[in-house]
Amino acid sequence: MGRMTTPTELRPVIITGLSGGGLSSAAKVFEDKGYFVSQNLPPQLILELMDLAARKDSPVDKLAVVTDVRARIFKGSLMEMISVARERGFNPFVLYLEARDDVLIKRFDSVRRTHPLQEDNPLSVGIERERAELSRVRDTADVIIDSSNLSIHDLRRAIEASIGDLASAKQHVTVQSFGFKHGSPRDADLIFDVRFLPNPYWIEELRHFRGVDKPVSDYVLSQPGASEYVDSVVNLLSSMMAGYKHEGKDFVTVGIGCTGGHHRSVAVAEEVGRRLSQHGGLDVSVMHRDLQRH
């Protein structure tokens, strides 16, 4: 029998969320990052796997487990498993994936699958039941990602940006630009609106550039009120991070929106991300949800 390590040396990842929300895609991301990934284990076996992975003689140093509502048929709930894991000294990172009902219905229809909680009812009933059953897990998740408007590649980027370096003691901040016309990101902890700034779309020579391009960035950030707004956002976030840390929230997602998600929000998100990166205690990622959307 090998000797147990200190559990805190291993930070297991729990990938969960709504059926059709992107759990399988998330599993592939972690596999590509060198994690040992196990899928659809009952809660008790997840705990046993954590113990095995934490042993000194274990070949596994990075562990991710995918579990969803189907595990309910076994004794013990996901919330109970997470609570017991913490009592044993583990600090599991919970990644929760979801999507809008209409998107989930389209995804199920496209693969002609039935929902695990649907039974003889319409698909929408199964989705509603699942949301209710997983609501407590969602409330305690470290990161929530809404995959409704994300392609497979965008979802991968969102996961990679959100998880950062799990071994780091730094807090992780994802700054995400988006377009309000495509819907606000439901996974954002904070949302800022930059539609008060003049829109470069209406300037012919700037229309076909994006906020990551210098001509648009220079134009947006030079507008009256832009610099003061960025200062305010950065100062607000900096002042909030200590409180988030105290509450055990190490992963924060900030949404910055304009009309289409091409120009103003992108330029401001880049600048906010750049400024936050100068803060020594933060791991900052910037992503642009709607940059390629029309």
- The answer on whether 70 is annotated among ligand-binding residues is yes
- Token couple for 199: 């829109």
- The answer on whether 213 is annotated among ligand-binding residues is no
Longest dimension (CA), the chain: 71
**The dihedral formed by the CA atoms of 6, 162, 245 and 237, expressed in degrees to the nearest 10:** 160
- The answer on whether 141 is annotated among ligand-binding residues is no
Residue 69 has what DSSP assignment? Answer: G
- The answer on whether 27 is annotated among ligand-binding residues is no
Please name the amino acid found at residue 227. S
H/E stretch holding 198 reads none
User: Annotated binding site: which residue ranges?
Assistant: 68-71
User: Annotated binding site for GTP: which residue ranges?
Assistant: 68-71
